[in-house]
Chain A
């Protein structure tokens, strides 16, 4: 139990002490996870929107598969990306293994199904509402998709934040493809795993508290932006 109290004290000391080693780890975590979420959103939201409006045979199966992929274990994604990027793998020539880029690739694959599946649900609900409106305008599918994404943008932030939550919290994928190399690919979660394995429970927990704080700050920032944008849109 004394570990818990010590963890809060250590977390406080780390935050107020501006430990440069800690900040570089925090920055890399944010860079990798935000990068992955940005790419996954750029691909996942249009994909979700298209699935929302498209009707084709086997659509039900595709949706089930997409929803199921939200539960992919990070370790499995990590292994998959490792095998692809390994020097002996098909993309070995790119020399991406054990770099932050490899970590972005892995987390993008991890987050993409989440963003796409949640976007699909949000946009499909909206599409039902808009069906008559689109028909009266004689709008094509591409136009409908773009309009739906724009009008659902505030609800879609939740999908993006869910993806960010997954990315910033996962350890299995970045551990394998990043290698947890000090000052190169070490992020918050792999540091926590490392300190736990050293038996430095209080320090590991303190890093966990810092991680939670950062996740909260990112969410506050996004919600703030969203509120500002909403005010501007409906003013």
Chain B
């Protein structure tokens, strides 16, 4: 009887050896990118076109630019596709990536509640608007996550001469999370938010919020693409990654980017023709 117990116990332990299978496609690359390109739906539109043409599957890990660069630096990805030019150039200079190319741009906008407590709605001067928000102590929700958008925002505060670190926890609120989460929080507490236009266009939970500030040249948002350095990380799929970069920069790829629309409006503007470096 005990013997039977023993056997049954052993069986009970051995049975659940149920491995989860990874569906490994033969040809794929991992692209470290940002939430704006993923959340706006750009990749969902763009990547099938590339895959249909080349048979290369593109797996996107969408995180903040800071984290994307860090992941790429660890070699966890073949291509980096982000929007913080200064950091990208630093990354290339440090040997993390081969060469950086401009891909496209869009712009940042400041969104805020219809009540507009800082009186900035309709402004085309983002620095003046930031000064007004700070002067009135109107709530402002910041990403606070070292993403491309967060860095652009910090540069604008610096230009406005506002010390946001001192105001943090008061009218200045760092959510420490992604664009969408920060927009949700901002809408929830009636706080102004700096966001890229594509994320805002695709955002579904707007409440009374609308665009308060747009059209300032300082709100320019450049995206760059680069191959993670195979000399540093031998496993990087240089051929496949480069094929993706070449396609994105090609006439076809650029036209596809221009063709991506939300509610009939173009979201990203290809500008690969004039490489900056």
A interface residues with partner B (beta carbon < 8 Å): 31-32, 34-39, 41-42, 45-46, 86-89, 92, 95, 97-101, 103-104, 137, 139, 143, 146-147, 149-151, 153, 179-182, 184, 194, 196-201
Return the CB mask of B5-41 against A: 1 if under 8 Å, else 0.
Answer: 1101110111011111111100000100001001100
Choose the segment among B97-105, B147-155, B176-184 that binds chain A (4+ C-beta atoms closer than 8 Å).
Answer: B176-184
Complex CA distance for A182 and B205, rounded to whole angstroms: 22
Distance (whole angstroms) from the CB of A211 to the closest CB of chain B: 18
**A38-B18, A197-B39, A197-B184 as given contacts; A46 in contact with B204, CB under 8 Å:** no
Residues of A within 8 A of B39 (CB): 194, 197-198
Query: Which B residues touch A147, using CB under 8 A?
Result: 2, 5-6, 9
Please tell me if the beta carbons of A149 and B44 are within 8 angstroms of each other in the complex: no
Contact A200 B204 (CB under 8 A): yes
Chain B residues contacting A45 (CB-CB under 8 Å) are 13
Query: B235 in the interface, Cβ–Cβ < 8 Å?
Result: yes
Chain B positions within 8 Å of A199 at CB level: 180, 183-184, 203-206
Contact, CB under 8 Å: A151 / B76:
no
**Residue B258 at the A interface, CB < 8 A?**
no
B164 within 8 A of A: no
* B9:A181 contact, CB within 8 angstroms: no
Judge whether B178 and A197 touch: CB under 8 Å: yes
Q: Which residues of A contact B2 (CB under 8 A)?
A: 137, 139, 143, 147
B59 touches A181 (CB 8 A): yes
Please judge, given known A-B contacts A87-B233, A147-B9, A181-B60, whether A100 and B21 are in contact too, CB under 8 Å: yes
Instruction: Check A92 against B59 for contact (C-beta < 8 Å).
Output: no
Q: Does the CB pair B74–A88 fall under 8 Å?
A: yes
Q: Establish whether residues B22 and A196, one from each chain, have CB atoms under 8 Å apart when the complex forms.
A: no
The 9 closest A-B pairs by CB, nearest first: A197-B180, A38-B16, A199-B205, A87-B75, A179-B61, A199-B204, A35-B20, A199-B203, A150-B9
User: Which B residues fall within an 8 A CB radius of A?
Assistant: 2, 5-6, 8-10, 12-14, 16-24, 30, 35, 38-39, 43-44, 59-62, 71, 74-76, 178-181, 183-184, 202-206, 233, 235
Given A35-B20, A87-B76, A95-B235, 14 more pairs with CB closer than 8 A: A38-B17, A46-B13, A100-B23, A104-B19, A143-B6, A146-B6, A153-B12, A179-B30, A181-B60, A181-B61, A182-B44, A196-B180, A197-B179, A199-B180
- Flag if B62 contacts A101 (CB, 8 Å): no
Q: A180 to chain B: which residues have CB within 8 Å?
A: 61-62
A43 to chain B, nearest CB (A): 9
Residues of A within 8 A of B6 (CB): 143, 146-147, 150
**CB contact between B59 and one of A42, A86, A98, A196 (< 8 Å): that residue:** A98
- Cβ of B75: which chain A residues have Cβ within 8 Å of it? 86-88, 92
A6 to chain B, nearest CB (A): 11
Enumerate chain B residues within 8 angstroms of A146, measured Cβ to Cβ: 5-6, 9-10
Q: Measured between alpha carbons, how far is A97 from B233 in the docked complex, in Å?
A: 15
* A98 with B16, Cβ < 8 A, contacts A143-B2, A181-B59, A199-B183 known: no
Total CB contacts across the A-B interface at under 8 A: 118
Which one of B18, B24, B181, B203 contacts A35 once the chains associate, using CB atoms below 8 Å? B18
Complex Cα spacing A137 to B2, Å: 10
Minimum CB–CB distance from B150 to chain A (whole Å) comes to 15
Which residues from A are CB-within-8-Å of B30?
98, 179, 181
Tell me which residues across on chain B come within 8 A of A181, comparing CB atoms. Answer: 30, 59-61
Taking CB atoms, residues of chain B closer than 8 Å to A95 are 235
**Could you tell me the distance in whole angstroms from the C-beta of A36 to the nearest C-beta in chain B?**
8
Are A42 and B13 closer than 8 Å at their CB atoms?
Answer: yes
Contact B16 A41 (CB under 8 A): yes
Q: Does the CB pair A150–B23 fall under 8 Å?
A: no
Q: Which residue of chain B lies nearest to A98 when distances are taken between CB atoms in the complex?
A: B30
Q: Name A36's closest neighbour in chain B (CB-CB).
A: B20
Q: Which of B14, B20, B44, B206 has the most CB of A within 10 A?
A: B20
A153 to B61, CA, bound (A): 41
A selection of 29 A-B contacts at a CB cut-off of 8 Å is: A32-B20, A35-B20, A41-B16, A42-B13, A87-B75, A88-B74, A92-B75, A100-B23, A101-B20, A137-B2, A139-B2, A143-B2, A147-B5, A149-B12, A149-B13, A179-B30, A179-B59, A181-B59, A181-B61, A182-B60, A197-B35, A197-B39, A197-B178, A197-B179, A198-B204, A199-B183, A200-B204, A200-B205, A201-B205
Chain B contacts of A197 at CB under 8 A?
35, 39, 178-181, 184
